[in-house]
Chains A and B, each alone.
Chain A
Amino acid sequence: GQSLEQPSEVTAVEGAIVQINCTYQTSGFYGLSWYQQHDGGAPTFLSYNALDGLEETGRFSSFLSRSDSYGYLLLQELQMKDSASYFCAVRKSSGDKLTFGTGTRLAVRP
């Protein structure tokens, strides 16, 4: 089987930095994705890591360690609009099928 674990809730202050961790157990691994979902909205793609290391896209960065079965999403210079749920998702094969974690709800406070 496979499982992904991420914290259910995280709270941070506007302007701060927050890290959302994701650990996974899976047979077969191609890469780790991150998606953002605002309340009432659809998930939107943030990042994808297939290789170890840090990928940076503006204020958001994502890290992967394949040997540790671990990744994280780093959000810098937090803004109120970053309040949303964040999902990590594992890609197990060359196909695009994903298995999602249960999500981390981020609340950004003024």
Chain B
Amino acid sequence: DAEITQSPRHKITETGRQVTLACHQTWNHNNMFWYRQDLGHGLRLIHYSYGVQDTNKGEVSDGYSVSRSNTEDLPLTLESAASSQTSVYFCASSGLSSSYNEQFFGPGTRLTVL
């Protein structure tokens, strides 16, 4: 069965370190998204991609970067982790503008920056 996975599921790091969160989907979806979820803020879009070599900034992109070298993966990099980036991170994917606009979410990565 097709799925979307994230790794690691939990990560503790120190301020200033570079951290990369992995996202891998086997749906063969063109569209991939990274969100962060914090209490009181819901899901906020960090970066998104509509295909290989395409990346776009979302509403909270500062301090984050992504690259899309193939269809299956969209890794999220925190260039220099800050305590404000402690959050739960969700990756999602969707197909070519389906009529239902359904996004499929990964299980999430809980990141703690000390």
Contact = CB atoms under 8 A, between A and B. Distances in A.
Contacts of B45: 97-99
A17 to B, nearest CB: 24
Interface in A81-105: 87, 89, 91, 94-103
Given A95-B50, A96-B94, A97-B33, A45 B41 contact: no
Given A95-B31, A97-B33, A102 B101 contact: no
Nearest to B29: A96
B102 A100 contact: no
Contacts of B50: 95
A44 B105 contact: yes
Interface residues of B, number: 28
B43 A48 contact: no
B97 interface: yes
B77 interface: no
A71 B97 CA distance: 21
Interface string A25-66: 000001101000000011111001010000000000000000
B44 A42 contact: no
Contact of A102 (B31, B42, B105, B108): B42
Contacts of A96: 31, 33, 94, 97-98, 101, 103
A50 B106 CA distance: 25
B75 interface: no
Contact of B41 (A33, A50, A102): A102
Interface of B: 31, 33, 35, 40-45, 48, 50, 58-59, 90, 92, 94, 97-108
24 contacts: A31-B101, A33-B101, A42-B106, A42-B108, A43-B43, A43-B90, A43-B103, A45-B100, A45-B104, A50-B99, A50-B101, A87-B42, A94-B97, A95-B50, A96-B31, A96-B94, A96-B98, A96-B101, A97-B33, A97-B48, A98-B33, A98-B45, A100-B43, A102-B42
